[in-house]
Amino acid sequence: MKKRPTVCVIGIWHLGAVNAAGFAEKGYRVVGLELDPGKARRLQRGVAPLFEPGLEEMTRKHLKTGRLSFSADAEVAKEADYVVIAYDSPVNDRDEVDIAPVVDAARLVAPFLRPETPLVVTSQVPLGSCEQIQEESRRLNPTWRSGVVYTPENLRLGSAIARFLEPDMLVLGASHPGAARAAEALYRPFRTEKLPMDLRSAEMVKHALNAFLATSITFINEIANLSDRLGADAVAVGRALKHDKRIGKSALMMPGLGFSGGTLARDVTELRKFAGELGYRAKLLDAIVDVNEGTFDEVILRLQKKLGTLSGKKVGVLGLTYKPGTSTVRRSPALKIMDKLRAAGADCAGYDPKASAEELAEYREVFSRAKSVRELAKQADALVLVTEWPEFRTIPFASIAKLMRRPLLVDSKNFLDPAAMAAAGLDYQGFGRSGPQLGKAA
């Protein structure tokens, strides 16, 4: 029987855990390298590092099939036909990416790489990083004849498994012919268009994709700000735009809260940084940052318009995670909004059905966590919906409104039906929706 090729995946959190389980699902033998022995043991028991729909089930499935295992020993890279670095690159409060985990991982495994084993980087890295990693790896292992491959991840929290197994495309960046051929072989089971290119172009693809998505969000929110002031319904406008084939139904044209979490912001930040170093003024990128940050201030302005001063007011936040379908709260929009609320003197509480208790522990001084929506609403002056959990649509809002000191609801994502909220007795405030609202939220 022909031996299954072995993939070693380094960095087992969201990106790495999805890669490890996903490659096993595609038929590879996979070893996930987690340097913390305790975490490696938990992974070997089938405990996923965070909530992602389908991740724990797929992990346990392939632990049983024998295609997937986890280790804390870097020497497992010796047996690998492919080594994939899949750290979730941390981003600081200024949206600057820290590639130290990626560089350190490359240094760690470089001495163990077989001559023809490619080093595949799928983590978020600034343009030019992969060339530096390749040069350093060659210095540490002179017998290594392959090269670095950059294939930028395009996963989304909440739908990562499906996007990994059936990506829209695969960008395969390599500046070494052998590495390019190896990348094509690694991703052969993935039935999608593969786009080969050099390393720098592949890195720029990731920057450009996220900057374009950030531009789309910023554009519709600028339209929403104007709509609020001119009496139009920006949700209806956005719905119409998506029906134009030049824009497309998958376009990000729902007005609401801006992007956060570092995913889109870090690429805009990187491109602005490059522009500054080159002496080029990137006016569009500067405007994206200004408009995007303004959407968070709009939440505070809506509350102040209705409540006056927020000092001493109790504001409950519905949804704490970065987005629905995940348990992570790292740099979530809810945290940013609560920082602004606290600065305005408000007393904050939050509720979320899936938020990680471990991650929330560090914010216990910032806000209190309610055990239910009813507890959150009791004597609240306002509720702010931030994360679009599907179950929030089934909240009995009529009874919730009666628990509140003032039945004010700010829907920062235009997620709920304004007419239904009004019928429930709530003073509903959406984004860009000051005009007549004849239809339901998209």
User: Residue 323's pLDDT is what?
Assistant: 85
Residues 79/30, Cβ–Cβ less than 8 Å = no
DSSP letter, residue 116: T
**Helices within 243-282 (DSSP H only):** 263-278
- Separation of alpha carbons 149 and 350, rounded Å: 42
User: Residue 2's pLDDT is what?
Assistant: 61
The overall pTM is greater than 0.85: no
Would you tell me the crossing angle of helices 234-242 and 199-230 to the nearest 10 degrees?
A: 140
Q: What are the residue ranges in the chain where pLDDT is below 70?
A: 1-2, 93, 261-262, 434-442
Closest alpha carbon to 183 in 156, 152, 209, 162: 152
User: Residue 270's pLDDT is what?
Assistant: 87
Q: What is the enclosing helix (H) or strand (E) of 227?
A: helix 199-230
Closest alpha carbon to 404 in 432, 433, 375: 375
- Separation of alpha carbons 261 and 272, rounded Å: 18
User: Residue 385's pLDDT is what?
Assistant: 97
- Separation of alpha carbons 27 and 7, rounded Å: 10
User: Residue 440's pLDDT is what?
Assistant: 41
Token code pair at residue 100: 């130290």
pLDDT averaged over every residue in the chain? 91
User: Residue 434's pLDDT is what?
Assistant: 65
